[in-house]
A and B are shown apart, each in its own frame.
Chain A
Amino acid sequence: DAGVIQSPRHEVTEMGQEVTLRCKPISGHDYLFWYRQTMMRGLELLIYFNNNVPIDDSGMPEDRFSAKMPNASFSTLKIQPSEPRDSAVYFCASSSPPNAGGADTQYFGPGTRLTVL
């Protein structure tokens, strides 16, 4: 199993530019999560999906952030326009259905380190 795949691993952009982060969950997992990690705020859940449907986006900081999951194997997190305070590591995670063995355990991707200049 390849695990959760994220791209790019590093992204450097200038303020005002659009940024798109990508995630491929583990096959068979029907929950997908986007987290942001900063020194100041630690790990924060931004949004999560179940069966491609957004369930809770209360952690999305503002309208500049949006996330989509067009199918079971792909999700994007977009920031438009980006700002320096968006600089962070963004993680994607996935988990299996509640009744499966080890259910609800979230497996994380390697993260995308975003730097907005």
Chain B
Amino acid sequence: AQTVTQSQPEMSVQEAETVTLSCTYDTSENNYYLFWYKQPPSRQMILVIRQEAYKQQNATENRFSVNFQKAAKSFSLKISDSQLGDTAMYFCAFMNVRNTGKLIFGQGTTLQVKP
């Protein structure tokens, strides 16, 4: 069974600084997708970034980038130039390509951006 682990329950960062959120996963599959979702206080789940396992290049979306280490089964999220609006809970999620219905979520990391 696949599992996703986020070992940092809470983190904080100063505005304009850079922060990295950790995520590890366990799977025997070779083809899968990884995601980071953001859940602000409004509780809306917002897709931040997506990575296909077959792609070696790390995904980037504006200030958000990932460090995907397939062999180590690690998928960290880097937020550059942190903004107050980045304050939220962040969830790492795994999806097996052969079972595209099941998104498996980590426990979440609460990030607070301080002015």
Q: Is the CB of B43 within 8 A of A104?
A: no
Query: Known contacts A102-B50, A104-B95: does B43 contact A110 (CB below 8 Å)?
Result: yes
Q: Within the assembled complex, what's the spacing in Å between the Cα atoms of A92 and B91?
A: 16
Within 8 A of B (CB), among A22-47: 31, 33, 42-43, 45
Query: Known contacts A42-B105, A43-B105, A56-B101: does B50 contact A111 (CB below 8 Å)?
Result: no
Q: Is residue B11 contacting chain A, with contact meaning CB distance below 8 A?
A: no
Q: Within the assembled complex, what's the spacing in Å between the Cα atoms of A37 and B35?
A: 18
Q: A110: which B residues are within 8 A, CB to CB?
A: 42-44
Chain B interface residue bracket vs A: 20 to 34
Q: Is chain A's binding surface mostly helix, strand, loop or mixed?
A: strand
Q: Is residue B100 contacting chain A, with contact meaning CB distance below 8 A?
A: yes
Q: B97: which A residues are within 8 A, CB to CB?
A: 104
Within 8 A of A (CB), among B36-53: 37, 42-47, 50
Interface residue ranges, B against A (CB under 8 Å): 33, 35, 37, 42-47, 50, 91, 95, 97, 100-103, 105, 107-108
Interface residue ranges, A against B (CB under 8 Å): 31, 33, 42-43, 45, 48, 50, 55-56, 89, 91, 93, 95, 98, 102-108, 110-111, 113
List 9 A-B pairs, minimum CB-CB distance, nearest first: A108-B45, A43-B105, A48-B101, A104-B100, A110-B44, A111-B43, A42-B107, A56-B101, A55-B101
